[in-house]
Amino acid sequence: MKMTLKDIKLFALSLFGIAIVGCSTNEKQTVTTMTQLVKQDEFDVDGAPDNSMWSYDIGTGNNGWGNNELEYYTSRPQNIKVDGGVLRITAIQESYMGKGYTSARITSKNKFEQKHGRFEARIKMPLGKGIWPAFWMLGANSSSVSWPQCGEIDIMEYLGNNPTSFFGTVHGPGYAGSNSISKIFNLTNARFDTDYHIFGIEWGEDYINFYVDDVLFHQITPAEVPGEWVFNQPFYIILNLAVGGNLPGSPNAETTFPQTMLVDYVRVYK
């Protein structure tokens, strides 16, 4: 899988070169309007993730998946399994295949891809410096065109040393890397590592709305991107838990392992 993508731009985020745009929310906007369920994984069968929907990315990719990440992704049950009604993606500090950490990443590429719709997942976050989970999407043509022409939608990215915030981002030609379009959402009197929250987008022909729980916090339209709108093709889903890299930095002495990203469900509507 061509993956020298998401993580390159996230290095740029660490340099604070990101373009932040607001969501002109008002009382007429609604968080969810698409209600016809077309695909779901409720993670209710213990064992490996459903192979009719998910495939594994294995190894370290190119240059730590483009971001100098420290983990080796595996398909081992120690790193990824369905247990007790949730998907558990676990980062472990261990010596494995020349790396100091293991974790997992799954993708629906070539198994489930959809143009437009509502994509959401209910997730409880891990905690600690250097811990970096994500729920994101790439254009289905990512193997045939270079990034960012394929497009990228980061529904949720979270840094484990800041448990009260996450960010949603889009990338395309002319607005990738240091010019990506993003917005941070901050919780008040709550944390993402102590309870589940629903992260999602509603995506149509000329908009992408980002939400968490019942809050619409970020809206992007073609008029707001300084380049081609590449979000009118099918995209596929990715779930992963990275360790280290240019954006979060390395774990420190206060980061405990193992750390687990818990996914209660993934649902897609149209």
Question: Where in the sequence numbering do the catalytic residues fall?
Answer: 152, 157
Q: How far apart are the first and last CA of the chain?
A: 27
Q: Where do we find the tokens 């992408």?
A: 208
Q: One-letter amino acid identity for 201?
A: I
With 0-12 CB in 10 A as exposed, 13-18 as middle and 19+ as buried, what is 115?
A: middle
Give yes or no for a cis peptide into 222 (omega within 30° of 0): no
Reference 155, options 42, 17, 3, 268; nearest CA is 268
Distance CA(173)–CA(178), nearest Å, equals: 12
If you compute the radius of gyration of the chain from its CA atoms, what whole number of angstroms results?
17
What does the block give as tokens for 257?
A: 């392992």
Is 127 within 8 Å of 114 (Cβ atoms)?
no
